């Protein structure tokens, strides 16, 4: 919907883009406990059926946070993993 501007639900081309703002708390996702860093959301809304999609603005701040989260989710290796049988 973001690129095609076509609603995947009803095939309408009446899609409205609502660009996110870091000043609007309803368009942000907190990236840390204290909400000092936020990801900003852009929304795409079908004016005919109301279907909505949200996309995070891929800022450098978001990329740093995402990279750290991805590394944190990698499986931990134990000392036993270094030995072949």
Q: Which of 42, 63, 45, 62 is nearest to 54 (CA)?
A: 42
The pLDDT value recorded for residue 9 is 97
Q: Report if residue 30 sits inside a domain.
A: yes
Q: CA–CA separation, 58 vs 56, rounded Å?
A: 6
The pLDDT value recorded for residue 59 is 83
CB contact set of 61 (below 8 Å; sequence gap of 6+): 31, 37, 39
**Range in 29-33, 36-40, 42-46 with the lowest mean pLDDT:** 29-33
Q: CA–CA separation, 37 vs 35, rounded Å?
A: 5
The average pLDDT across 39-56 equals 92
The average pLDDT across 44-53 equals 96
Q: Report if residue 85 sits inside a domain.
A: no
Domain count for the chain:
1
Q: Report if residue 43 sits inside a domain.
A: yes
Q: Report if residue 33 sits inside a domain.
A: yes
Q: Report if residue 35 sits inside a domain.
A: yes
The average pLDDT across 28-35 equals 60
CB contact set of 7 (below 8 Å; sequence gap of 6+): 1, 13, 14, 15, 46, 48, 49, 51
Q: Report if residue 61 sits inside a domain.
A: yes
Q: Report if residue 3 sits inside a domain.
A: no
Residue with the two structure tokens 């036993």: 80
> In which domain, by residue range, is 34 found?
15-74
């Amino acid at each position: 919907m973001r690129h095609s501007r076509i609603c995947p639900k009803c095939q309408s081309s009446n899609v409205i883009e609502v660009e996110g703002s870091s000043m609007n708390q309803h368009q942000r996702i907190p990236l840390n406990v204290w909400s000092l860093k936020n990801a900003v959301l852009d929304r795409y809304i079908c004016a005919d059926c109301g279907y909505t999609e949200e996309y995070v603005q891929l800022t450098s701040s978001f990329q740093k946070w995402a990279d750290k989260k991805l590394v944190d989710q990698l499986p931990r290796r134990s000392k036993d993993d270094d030995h072949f049988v």
